[in-house]
Amino acid sequence: MRAIVVALIVLGVGACTWPTNVGLKRTDDFQAAQAACLSGNVAQFDDGTSPPASIGRYVAMSCSVETSKLIQYVIPYANQTEREAMMLDAERRATSYVLSARAHPKS
């Protein structure tokens, strides 16, 4: 009898975490799509002489669709401050990709 109760509790707890795991997977997918866009567009915008922050801003703007999808999924009812924070984060990450690309140029 005790084993049955323990089994039911374990199954109940496992069932509660399943949607969370699916949600985390979707979040990871949106973050990966955004990261791929940011890193993939650096070469298109980087002229090698402009400030990295400026290039990062352009790259982030070019990936605004991916960033918007991420925001809508992670924060369904985001206010303006939250939206701006996520866009600023995208700019910072794009700038880091620019700096990384400049430090390790492809021949």
Q: Where are the domains of the chain?
A: 19-103
With helix as H, strand as E and coil as C, how does the chain read? CHHHHHHHHHHHHHHHHHHHHHHHHHHHHHHHHHHHHHHHHHHHHCCCCCCHHHHHHHHHHHCHHHHHHHHHHHCCCCCHHHHHHHHHHHHHHHHHHHHHHHHCCCC
pTM of this prediction? 0.75
> Binning pLDDT at 50, 70 and 90, where does residue 1 land?
low
pLDDT of 107 over the 70 cut: no
Condensed to tens digits (0 to 9), the pLDDT of residues 31-76 reads 999 999 999 999 999 999 999 999 999 999 999 999 999 999 888 8
